[in-house]
Chains A and B, each alone.
Chain A
Amino acid sequence: MDTFALMLGWAGIYGPTALGAIGSIMGCARAGQAACGAMLDVESGYGRFIALSALPSSQIIYGIVVMFALNRDVTTESAPGLFAVGILCGLALMASAAFQGKCCASAIVATKTKPEVFGLSAAPAAIVEGFAVFAFVFALVIAGGIPSTGT
């Protein structure tokens, strides 16, 4: 039972990075595919497409920071907290990156047709990013309350 609890603790520590990475992969892939498609249709403004398609990569960075904040000796006392905070934060990061990719793909299509809406079309992606930041910041705050024996 202790081993299982410890495994969950380790999953909680690595969860934000792994789940954040999965989300960033999905988001960047979707937006990147849209960017490639848009490049087939227009003769300029490629840089904007690439910039938009890279937006969902921030979630993996948040995940890495949360992982470092959670990193401590895994004991039966700390494992439940590590698991809960790490996995829930990771899921939030994954969802935000995946859906941000959709927002970015739509922004790329909009920008391709009307370059003047570049800033506005990125607003939905920025709002989604905001939710990821909430999950990230409060994971750091909550992490302070998890027992950290041996550190």
Chain B
Amino acid sequence: MDYYTLIASLPALPPHFGVERTPVSRPRLRQLLKQLTEEDADTIHQLTRFFSWDRQLLDQSEDDIARRYDELMQNHQTMIRQIVSLRINVRTIVAALRCRRDDLAPPTAVGELVEPIRRNWNHPTFGLSHRYPWIETFSDHMLAGETARADRTLFEYTWQTWSRMAAQYTFSFEAVPLYVARWEIVDRWTSRDMDAGKERFEQLTHEALGEYAELQF
């Protein structure tokens, strides 16, 4: 399959994820991705479900996550495996840092870093700072209770990694999951302000409609 039409129809992502809104809404993105073949669409669907796992922790067991991870790691597309591997590694490190902060045992998740982290549990960066230079900065922000800054550190690293990889692909399938992965970062960053946006909307509604804003139907 050619991906020229699909890639050209995807709105350009911003140079940096720190924007006010996503360049394309989730429903519209889903609609555009319908141009994919059934097999490709299934891969992208699995990937997006995997991306959203840490937003739905209550709905999923660790076994569910492990099963999805295994499914995706069996994908024949190297790019998909790289994206999933990086994502699970980042989440494993974050989980480990949180466990250590709360005096808990090392996480027993999936992925290649579980064992190295367990071996280097007392090392400030688990001996992984050469591969993941953001760990120290993230850890400092997390321990200081600066959640937004910690998140931003993570997003910066992931965004740069995806962008670097995306520069190698233009009109091939690899460009699609990398687009979706970066869109997901923009979506997560912009939705951080959703509550503030909702409050602002209600405030504007009150200003514009006055007492009519309170009407109940």
Residues of A within 8 A of B (CB): 30-31, 33-38, 40-41, 102, 105-106, 108-109, 112-113
Determine the distance from Cα of A40 to Cα of B31 in the docked complex, in whole angstroms.
Answer: 11
Identify the stretch in B6-14, B61-69, B193-201, B206-214 within 8 Å (CB) of chain A at 4 or more residues: B6-14
Contact with A along B1-37 (1 / 0, CB 8 A): 0101111111110000000000000000000100000
Known: A34-B4, A36-B8, A113-B12. 9 other contacts (CB 8 A): A30-B2, A36-B5, A36-B9, A37-B4, A37-B5, A37-B9, A38-B8, A41-B8, A102-B170
Determine the distance from Cα of A34 to Cα of B10 in the docked complex, in whole angstroms.
Answer: 11
List the A side residues contacting B12 at CB < 8 Å.
109, 112-113
Q: Are B9 and A41 in contact (CB under 8 A)?
A: yes
List the B side residues contacting A105 at CB < 8 Å.
4, 8, 170-171
Determine the distance from Cα of A109 to Cα of B11 in the docked complex, in whole angstroms.
Answer: 9
Q: Are A37 and B6 in contact (CB under 8 A)?
A: yes
Determine the distance from Cα of A41 to Cα of B23 in the docked complex, in whole angstroms.
Answer: 11
Which of chain A's residues has its CB closest to B11's CB?
A: A41
Q: Are A109 and B2 in contact (CB under 8 A)?
A: no
Residues of B within 8 A of A (CB): 2, 4-12, 32, 170-171
* Interface-centre pick from A31, A40, A108 (highest chain B CB count, 10 A): A40
Q: Are A33 and B10 in contact (CB under 8 A)?
A: no
Known: A34-B171, A40-B32, A102-B171. A109 touches B5 (CB 8 A): no
Chain A min CB distance to B96 (Å): 40
List the B side residues contacting A37 at CB < 8 Å.
4-10
Determine the distance from Cα of A31 to Cα of B8 in the docked complex, in whole angstroms.
Answer: 10
Q: Are A33 and B2 in contact (CB under 8 A)?
A: yes
List the B side residues contacting A35 at CB < 8 Å.
8
List the B side residues contacting A34 at CB < 8 Å.
4-5, 7-8, 171
Determine the distance from Cα of A105 to Cα of B7 in the docked complex, in whole angstroms.
Answer: 10
Known: A102-B171, A105-B171, A106-B170. A33 touches B11 (CB 8 A): no
List the B side residues contacting A30 at CB < 8 Å.
2, 4, 171
List the A side residues contacting B171 at CB < 8 Å.
30, 34, 102, 105
Determine the distance from Cα of A41 to Cα of B5 in the docked complex, in whole angstroms.
Answer: 11
Chain A min CB distance to B170 (Å): 6
Which of chain B's residues has its CB closest to A109's CB?
A: B8
Determine the distance from Cα of A37 to Cα of B7 in the docked complex, in whole angstroms.
Answer: 7
4 closest A-B pairs by beta carbon, nearest first, are A37-B8, A33-B4, A37-B9, A37-B5
* Interface-centre pick from A33, A35, A113 (highest chain B CB count, 10 A): A33
List the A side residues contacting B7 at CB < 8 Å.
34, 37, 109
Determine the distance from Cα of A46 to Cα of B5 in the docked complex, in whole angstroms.
Answer: 14
Chain A min CB distance to B17 (Å): 17
Chain B min CB distance to A67 (Å): 29
Chain B min CB distance to A98 (Å): 13
List the A side residues contacting B8 at CB < 8 Å.
33-38, 40-41, 105, 108-109, 112
List the B side residues contacting A31 at CB < 8 Å.
4
Which of chain B's residues has its CB closest to A114's CB?
A: B12
Chain A min CB distance to B215 (Å): 35
List the A side residues contacting B2 at CB < 8 Å.
30, 33
